Structure 1
């Protein structure tokens, strides 16, 4: 068993922003308890100044356990990255321990709050994960958060390449990702990866009137990971995850539902729209796949003008199966707000055969940035509570980062929306932004993003594609289908956790 104390965002300074008594309380508790080592995930100082580093060097020595310190965005202000190496240690590194390894990486960009694990550091991290692939426990630590966080206001500062980093960690069976940055403690399970965000240890800037805290991580010999968020008031919140075994499942019983998921058809008269590809997909749906329902996750047209909607509607009507569609950001350009409703109607909740499909409209006028909003979140929560069967939520903007797509907070309240979906236990969430197919399970909620079905400007090495999702009584299987040739690749297989009503 390995026990780790995870602290973050001390913001040591001579100013009132620093709460020295909170730091001392936590440091003394860490020294009293049985920890194998301590990880500080950045923002050691407040402004990266020499006098702050001098004090930080003194304060960090109060922790009498092996200590790994990761740089944060505040630490690299004022060329503080040079001082970090002088007073604290290397910006990137490896710490080996019994049965495992901790790899920490500098995710900061000088003088910005944003984060990035750039090309060279990404390759270095990949090489280190391959080098230590035999370790039972693999931990990666950085300052910036990997998935959107709740209770942080407008979503921003997630790693620009969070999707690529998340994909890398999942492919290399990383046990734990440690981070800080947003001053909000939170724990998510993404597949078998535990994403552990620490709150702030000794900064006055907390969220929603919260208090200072740190996290206690226990990794058991059987692979179970427990995280306890411990506040200075003594309050504790615990989460735990046991890895899924076995990894392979066999469908039992008849298939209950087949969904064909499309996105980014972007119908237009521009050269980037591949009409023949979309026509081929329509034929595949009608003649071979024969789904129970087709869901289009937005960007139906390239620009919200009438001739594009006319062409899109003509192609949409050729699909001989039940259909649902929500608008994307390109649908809402120009006259799109009026024309989308005129040609496709307002998205409405649909229930049939033990399944409920709940639409969420996220796009805004003339911007790629989407929002659900506090009012929309309350409405979504009510719909999730009222549905007594298998719930499928579908929207345009993605709620988890997508590989090969720069994350800039496209859904500005993604953190709160993701927490709502996972907290309510939504079984399936379908999204369609980013031009690349990707699927993960966050807690017990399966999130599947569709790539571009017929738009040449996409980010998917597999080419234009769409997804086929099959639901069985015990499991969900998702495939990405190449839109021209019909070849498939597996996106994921997930065992279902219990049942609701007459659904699986």
Structure 2
């Protein structure tokens, strides 16, 4: 199966549209043996009738079977109704011999943001179940699913991206195709390939880039995505399915981490004191970790009384501790109190392992940022400790978690995620969103902790902490219910290739 993936043509009579780039890519598509062309939205620039009339003429230049998905620009000015008149259906299914393409409208009228919620979510879920027998399952929408590098401030990932990602992974979807941010990018999230197309014919490229489209080749061995620019430059990424899916660790355990977050110690009724006491007792007596990592929101508000209460709990933890501040921790006087009670967050080395804390919390807001200097520090530390098992620790989540509305929680998540995956960090731990969740992006498992003792969480499993064991050849993560001690597997990931940290 060979697919041409185009996006963000932004057809208009204004200077935003580069007609020569559209013609060049359309002609190139026509001369290659593509089975299908998928356009992932922003066909027009403003959703106006004259733009749709122009677009309906231009896209007919593509002489291949064509699927077109609506984008946020197409939905402007009630353009979603014109889309159906001039382009095609907002939702649909296209079957081929051993696969299916399911496309869905992710737009919100007159907003750049996206959402596949409510009835659209139910429809997508039903279609994935209906076509579960297909070997190849492709889902296409306009908005991106995971944060992208080089796009400025992250703010348009799907509102319910965590739910959609969870849905696609649970239904073993092969490929998610999208556009929107005008940056070509390919990530592997577990066995799912997330394919972002750049812009085909819009002047608004990022970082001085040029127009491009993606070539997707799907075989029984995996998925290969080639980013092809109008200059002729190409970048390839090939992903093969993980086999087998279940592993048995070899040798003795090398490291045990207990990961906690959102204890939110306070005198409010939402703080479950007994649950935290029970969890700390279990951590000390049953799990006996080498290190306890708290990924932020130790206290509910940054006031001295709450910090004093928190110290009474966490000084009982027998293992070595690494605590990074969350957004709650630095409210009011919390910025100074955190350092007074828990000290500066510093890199910790333990034999072949190194723990790299990254500060992302900002004053009086849930939105975090690492910043350009912080990104350079992170990249430098990952390079400096390349011979060790590197664990990046931060508060804000890099990958959307289920049951949480994503709205730019980490402004520069795209660039931070790119640094971590490019440097092939062995593990990343986060603690925002109130729900335990874990996925592997490229070669890096990213594990988010739920709330250990705060009633206002989003986890059906209840208050919990994570238990992470590292072996020579694999990493295993469990979520542990903080009251009863029952466990749920979050993930297990094979460590492949050379391990310089041994």
CA distance in structure 2 between the partners assigned to 1:474 and 1:148 by the alignment: 29
5+ residue gaps, structure 1: none
CA drift at 1:502 = 3.3
| Residue aligning to 1:114 | 113
**Local SS of the residue matching 2:187:** strand
Aligned to 1:322: 320
Is the CA contact (8 Å cut-off) linking 1:145 and 1:197 kept in structure 2? yes
How many angstroms apart in 2 are the aligned matches of 1:185 and 1:251? 37
Change (3 A) 1:499 1:350: farther
Partner of 1:240: 238
In 2, the alpha carbon distance for the partners of 1:473 and 1:89 equals 53
**Residue in structure 2 matched with residue 282 of structure 1 by the alignment:** 280
Deviation at 1:98, TM superposition (A): 1.7
1-side partners of 2:204 and 2:44: how far apart? 14
Partner of residue 382 from structure 2, selected from 381, 384, 390: 384
**Aligned-pair distance for 1:118?**
1.4
- Unaligned 5+ segments in structure 2 are none
**CA offsets per residue over residues 268-309 of structure 1, 9 Å max, x none?**
000000000000011001110001110000000000000100
In the alignment, which residue of structure 1 is the partner of 2:248? 250
RMSD: 0.6
Aligned residue in 1 for 2:362: 364
User: 2-side partners of 1:477 and 1:389: how far apart?
Assistant: 18
* 1:80-107 CA distance string (max 9 Å, x none): 0000000011100101112100000000
Write out per-residue CA displacement over residues 164-186 of structure 1, whole angstroms, 9 at most, x where no aligned residue.
Answer: 00000000000000000000000
Q: What per-residue deviation string (whole Å, max 9, x for no partner) do you get for residues 408-455 of structure 1?
A: 010000000000000000010000000000000000011000000000
Are 2:337 and 1:339 equivalent residues in the alignment? yes
2:79 equivalent in structure 1: 80
* Contact 1:267–1:300 (Cα < 8 Å) also in 2: yes
CA contact (8 A) 1:163 1:402 kept: yes
Alignment correspondent of 1:7: 6
The Cα shift of 1:119 comes to: 1.1
Deviations 1:3-48 (A, max 9, x none): 0000000000011100000000000000000100000000000000
The Cα of 1:75 is off from its aligned counterpart by: 0.1
d(CA) in 1 for partners of 2:362 and 2:27? 49
User: 1:163-220: CA deviations, max 9, x gaps?
Assistant: 0000000000000000000000000000000000000000000001100000000001
| Counterpart contact for 1:154–1:412, Cα < 8 Å | yes
TM-score of the two chains, using structure 1 as the length reference: 0.99
1:488 aligns with 487
- Which residue matches 1:260? 258
Measured after TM superposition, the shift of residue 501 of structure 1 is 2.8
Residue 353 of structure 1 and its aligned partner are, at CA, apart by 2.1
Map 1:183-198; keep pairs closer than 5 Å: 183-198=182-197
The equivalent of 2:475 in structure 1 is 476
1:179 aligns with 2:170: no
CA distance in 1, matches of 2:206, 2:320: 44
Aligned partners of 1:354 and 1:501 also within 8 Å: no
Distance 1:502 1:401 in 2: 30
Which whole-Å CA distance do the structure 2 matches of 1:497 and 1:45 have between them? 45
**Residue number in structure 2 paired with 1:229:** 227
Q: Size of the alignment, in residue pairs?
A: 501
Alignment partners' CA distance in 2, 1:500 and 1:251? 15
**Residue matched to 1:59:** 58
Give the structure 1 partner of residue 309 of structure 2.
311
CA distance in 2, matches of 1:364, 1:245: 42
Question: Counterpart of 1:22 in 2: which secondary structure?
Answer: helix
CA contact (8 A) 1:6 1:215 kept: yes
1:332-390 deviation per Cα after TM superposition (whole angstroms, max 9, x unaligned)? 10000000000000100011120000000110111001000000000111110111210
Which residue in the other structure is 1:420 paired with?
Answer: 419
- The whole-number CA distance in structure 2 between the counterparts of 1:15 and 1:382 is 44
TM value normalised by structure 2: 0.99
- Aligned residues of 1:298 and 1:331 also touching (Cα < 8 A): yes
Q: What is the CA distance between 1:221 and its match in structure 2?
A: 2.1
Return structure 1 stretches of 4+ with deviation > 2 angstroms: 497-503
Q: Does residue 135 of structure 2 align to residue 136 of structure 1?
A: yes
Q: What is the alpha-carbon distance in structure 2 between the residues aligned to residue 156 and residue 237 of structure 1? A: 26
SS in 2 for 1:23: helix
